[in-house]
Structure 1
């Protein structure tokens, strides 16, 4: 068996979607459409938050940071995938592969941490509205953003470092991007530390973050139940609705993909790969749509910009 030692000259081969090689061109239409939708949708939200002084509030600043994380993840993933589909450019250098993995997974961790921060923002808005500006100051938003970034770096940086110590006996990755576990499966050396650490990150990010979000919304529901006015209840629930939809869009596909990997043994491998791509791209595409529909301030700003263009 030919053994490949880790070096700067090592090259992996991304197969794209094995079993659907003949459909790569058609798949590229879906991926490129989602790519454009993500760039335009997130770009519009970022532009509005940056240019409109009335949107310089903690909620919208956290939303803008979420859009940045979505864009980083998308830009790390889609261009190489389209190169595979369009030009059959399947080779990727080891360092580029590890870098792509770091940004894709790191952005996902940052996104999850920002969703926790946004849940805290909604808790303060509903449960402590009179102290909202005092509690959620700009400095606190800055610390929350820094904490999300540091969390992403600290948790994901060990992954490529641990991969550096492995010896690879296979170089073909049956996927569209450099996923951590896809790389671990190619190694013919001892991979137990890599697998344990990967599981630790999943449990810490998905498990802990979902628990904190659930705790925040339990307190919100407790406060809503105490409200006597029907209008106040509707207003409180409407305040949280956009964030709830984003949570479902972010964690729903990821949990479904993880579930199919563990119990869907009869599902074809190309279905698993497409699901893995969807759980990364779908939230990035849906988030600006959800906030554009649910948040009146954003709808008004978009309508005003469109009227300026048509005037």
Structure 2
């Protein structure tokens, strides 16, 4: 090994050493985030109290409406049909959906809540499971309506208990697989600080903004799969409704057409509300996105829609209203005795 005196021999060593020291200092300054702080909606205490009461009332109505629907379908023999079987799972999903989000909202209305990294990932996972499963389940429900309208005589043999459970299991599997992919892509990113999430729960857009690593690959995977789920289910729903409309047009009487279409009106309303907000939230270009707009839209599909669904499906449904009146009559008779 030769020895070379002079400054020219020291230059390569000095340059590489300086670069190594700078990289080491940069790594030391990038501390890994162990918790996130949710900013929420507002810092004004008076407005926070009003919003707290509003969201709490929404949450109570959501739980009572959806769990009441599940119990009603289970208790009344007239509702033991495939359509109501799927509706009971939709109501259960909506109750779980709200329970993942609203309690967190209620806390953030008063203080900037800190949540651990693992708690944030857990909330994101279960929220994504519920949202993805609901996409698939709404497509399953419109397929059920298509079979009932196009082949009413074969409906019972087509929608056997095994078929129903298979379709529901497929919906849950689709939601679960999507949640695993999106959670893995999001929480394998590096979060070095800041750790303040300008949102009221751990959602995808604000989390990606906080990441200090390259999110290009993750965003491509997340957006591709998310858009794929939305578009495929929307396509299934659209094609099914085209076949339903064709079947309705073959009904001779006007009254028959109206009665047949009324069985789909509630589902169509729920589909338009849910997919409309999801499309606005996740399928816009990044240049058109605003976190303040995202907050409003997120409240709509995580709080308002789960609360409205029981009313959408019950107000226009004679069988559900009859079953509800039957339960009320039973309660009045038991109280009288």
**Does TM-score exceed 0.5, indicating one fold?**
yes
What secondary structure is seen at the aligned counterpart in 2 of 1:185? helix
Q: CA deviation at 1:109?
A: 0.7
Q: CA deviation at 1:309?
A: 2.6
Q: Work out whether residues 62 and 306 of structure 2, in 8 Å CA contact, stay in contact via their aligned partners in 1.
A: yes
TM-score (norm 2): 0.85
**Structure 2, gaps ≥5 residues long:** 1-25
Cross-structure match for 2:292? 270
Larger-Rg structure: 2
Over 3 Å counting, the alpha-carbon distance change for 1:15 and 1:192 in structure 2 is same
**Aligned counterparts, 1:58-137, within 5 A:** 58-86=82-110, 88=111, 90-137=113-160
Cross-structure match for 2:30? 3
Q: CA deviation at 1:249?
A: 2.5
Question: 1:78-126 deviations in whole A, cap 9, x for unaligned?
Answer: 111111224x151001111011011111101101111001000100111
Q: CA deviation at 1:181?
A: 2.2
Over 3 Å counting, the alpha-carbon distance change for 1:151 and 1:258 in structure 2 is closer
Q: Work out whether residues 42 and 109 of structure 2, in 8 Å CA contact, stay in contact via their aligned partners in 1.
A: no
Q: Work out whether residues 14 and 91 of structure 1, in 8 Å CA contact, stay in contact via their aligned partners in 2.
A: yes
**What is the root-mean-square deviation in Å for CA atoms of aligned residues?**
2.1
Over 3 Å counting, the alpha-carbon distance change for 1:205 and 1:22 in structure 2 is farther
Task: Decide which moves more: 244-253 or 15-24.
Answer: 15-24
Alpha-carbon distance in 1 for matches of 2:270, 2:310: 9
Q: CA deviation at 1:238?
A: 1.3
Cross-structure match for 1:206? 230
What secondary structure is seen at the aligned counterpart in 1 of 2:321? helix
**Structure 1, gaps ≥5 residues long:** none
Question: 1:131-171 deviations in whole A, cap 9, x for unaligned?
Answer: 00011111011001111111111111122222333221321
**Aligned counterparts, 1:205-244, within 5 A:** 205-244=229-268
Alpha-carbon distance in 1 for matches of 2:187, 2:282: 26
Aligned length: 305
Residue 72 of structure 2 corresponds to residue 48 of structure 1: yes
What secondary structure is seen at the aligned counterpart in 1 of 2:202? coil
Cross-structure match for 2:20? none
